[in-house]
Amino acid sequence: MDVAAKKKISKKSYETELKRLQVELCHLQGWVQRTKARVVVVFEGRDAAGKGGVIKRITERVSPRVFRVVALPAPSDRQKSQVYVQRYFEHLPAGGEIVLFDRSWYNRAGVERVMGFCTNKEYENFLTDAPGFERYLVREGIILLKYFFDVTREVQQERFKDRMIDPRKHWKLSPMDVESWARWWDYTEAYERMISETDSVHAPWFRVPADNKRLARLNCISHLLQSIPYNEEPFVLPELPNRREHRKGAPKSISFKHTVPQKY
């Protein structure tokens, strides 16, 4: 088990710190809107490592118009015939937006490589081209952050078993997820090559030890905030105006033909 997983944090302390970080995310949001900054955050890693969990905590208190989550399905036949990065390019942020990629163009160096969904030439071309593509994004003014959520085999197995037991989590177990458990060492080899070839000065990879979900979320969000030079934006609260008088003859309530049964 990862050394970081041995650390503990109480639920109360976790929730207190998460609330503080989420307030900072709101300040970041205001700064991004005012400055028209463009931010891309890439989340990659092992299946069941907690990528979705941290994305949920990042977005639950901010505007979906500013923080956009991109989680693309398998490519269509038409998309397979396009230039590889084309389907990702259209999701890049405009001014005043933060895009969170729940898996990204790195699918080619991970699942596509391991499962044989791309040719060896396509794979090698990607590893050669990815640093240049990211250099272009950064040169164009996009703030780019890349996180790899890493769990041990034991913890991944525990989480897969939990998903099998809990009906609320069955949807998280796709055939591809189960296959990733069986191909642990194939993915290890693919990710090792991916990191070594695409870690660059302009777009470095940051490993997030994720055996402990709470600590992984706090550490990742904290690092994200520290990596962007935002300022706290003052928010002017509007004053509630006086309500207008009821107009004579106007209805005093809304009439409905149907109401949800009050079971609870």
Q: Report long-range pairs for 134-140 (Cβ below 8 Å, ≥24 apart).
A: 134/198, 134/200, 134/202, 134/203, 135/200, 135/202, 135/203, 137/40, 137/92, 137/203, 138/202, 138/203
Q: What is the pLDDT of residue 237?
A: 87
Which amino acid, one-letter code, is at 45? G
Alpha-carbon distance 181 to 30, whole Å?
41
**In the predicted model, what is the mean pLDDT of residues 20-25?**
98
Each residue's pLDDT tens digit, 119-159: 999 999 999 999 999 999 999 999 999 999 999 999 999 99
pLDDT-derived band at 3 (thresholds 50, 70, 90) equals: low
Each residue's pLDDT tens digit, 79-107: 999 999 999 999 999 999 999 999 999 99
Angle at 4 between CA 71 and CA 9, to 5 degrees: 90
- Tokens 């609260």 -> residue: 237
DSSP string across 66-78: TEEEE---SPPHH
Does the structure show a pLDDT above 70 at 2? no
Mean pLDDT over the full length of the chain: 94
**Bridge partner list, 143:** 39
Q: Phi and psi (nearest 5°) for 147?
A: -120, 135
Which amino acid, one-letter code, is at 162? D
Q: What is the pLDDT of residue 62?
A: 98
pLDDT-derived band at 234 (thresholds 50, 70, 90) equals: confident
Alpha-carbon distance 195 to 109, whole Å?
9
